[in-house]
A and B are shown apart, each in its own frame.
Chain A
């Protein structure tokens, strides 16, 4: 049995028939072919699959694709606009906030929501908000710095 799903991903509308058991993250990776969203665990601990779903940072492994029917999704591939990096992406580059790069897309998407909630976050707020994203390479030190850099370099909201 397959069910129809329709959603907007990075501004493009996609419609497919999928098995109800297909996870959203596998829909994004395997069906749509956007492989920037990663899978690092099977218990929703690591956060490598974090995306924005209707503006909320969610782990794409915690939802079935059919649950996201009608949703507006942004993945890491949709963050840079017209080839221009988002300040969070620039922060990760400037401050060496990544090494192997595998957790990075999820970290960046989690940071996106973090900065919406706390435009000028304290170190403690950053660390607390990243509690659901694991990195094995950086010891988090430079991820904190990257997000602070992004906070300092975000364009003012109009």
Chain B
């Protein structure tokens, strides 16, 4: 699971071309979106990019974007849980 999380963090930094943030800086349970103390403060465009990146990297798709999927994108933890549950075996 930890390996998956660090892969996700690497993916976030690379796919979103983040500057001044390394994978190590991302806190597992901090919110990825919106305003918060230790979060990344990503925006809605980043969400779209991230969705594409998750599909490319892990083969996991989000067919419908709804409140439910937004929950999976809340933090690295939630994203890791969703990906590991849905990753094609």
Is the pairing of A and B real?
no
